């Protein structure tokens, strides 16, 4: 799926402020659940399991139930919670040794939803994969 994002800003040209529009085409996954699962499937399996176990300690039983219910209805449940709930979980992961450096990745944002879904049993890692690719 391709999404066109448009930003509006003021730039200074020749000492005069001018309105400008910047358009950027963004390629988005068709299937977000598969995208997140594919990402975490490439990581060290033990680190992924440890991170998922850690996340269970950060989510109250009520939050766990709420996420499971929302995820059952909408595979993009996390978009509503990206900035607030998910930001806190991503930062908790980073502060507890499950960040970009430890996983050898560039951006935890592309992995955290998959870790939450794994922790809550919404998704499962494919069986039989033994090699570590990252």
pTM of the model: 0.74
Give the number of residues written for the chain.
134
- Point out the least confidently predicted range of 14-18, 22-26, 57-61, 82-86: 22-26
Say what the pLDDT of residue 126 is.
79
Pick the more confident residue, 9 or 38.
Answer: 38
Pick the more confident residue, 9 or 71.
Answer: 71
Instruction: State the Cα–Cα distance between residues 2 and 86, nearest whole angstrom.
Output: 24
Pick the more confident residue, 134 or 107.
Answer: 107
- Point out the least confidently predicted range of 37-46, 49-58, 123-132: 123-132
Say what the pLDDT of residue 131 is.
41
pLDDT tens across 67-113, in order? 999 999 988 888 876 666 788 899 999 999 999 999 999 999 899 99
């Amino acid at each position: 799926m391709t999404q066109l994002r448009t930003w509006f800003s003021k730039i200074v040209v020749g000492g005069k402020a001018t309105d400008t529009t910047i358009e950027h085409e963004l390629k988005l996954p068709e299937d977000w659940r598969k995208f997140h699962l594919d990402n975490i499937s490439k990581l060290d399996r033990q680190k992924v399991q440890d991170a998922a176990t850690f996340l269970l300690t950060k989510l109250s039983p009520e939050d766990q139930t709420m996420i499971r219910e929302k995820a059952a209805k909408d595979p993009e449940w996390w978009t509503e919670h990206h900035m607030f709930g998910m930001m806190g979980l991503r930062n908790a992961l980073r502060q507890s040794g499950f960040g970009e450096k430890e996983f050898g990745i560039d951006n935890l944002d592309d992995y955290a939803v998959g870790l939450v879904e794994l922790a809550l049993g919404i998704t499962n890692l494919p069986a039989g994969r033994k090699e570590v690719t990252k």
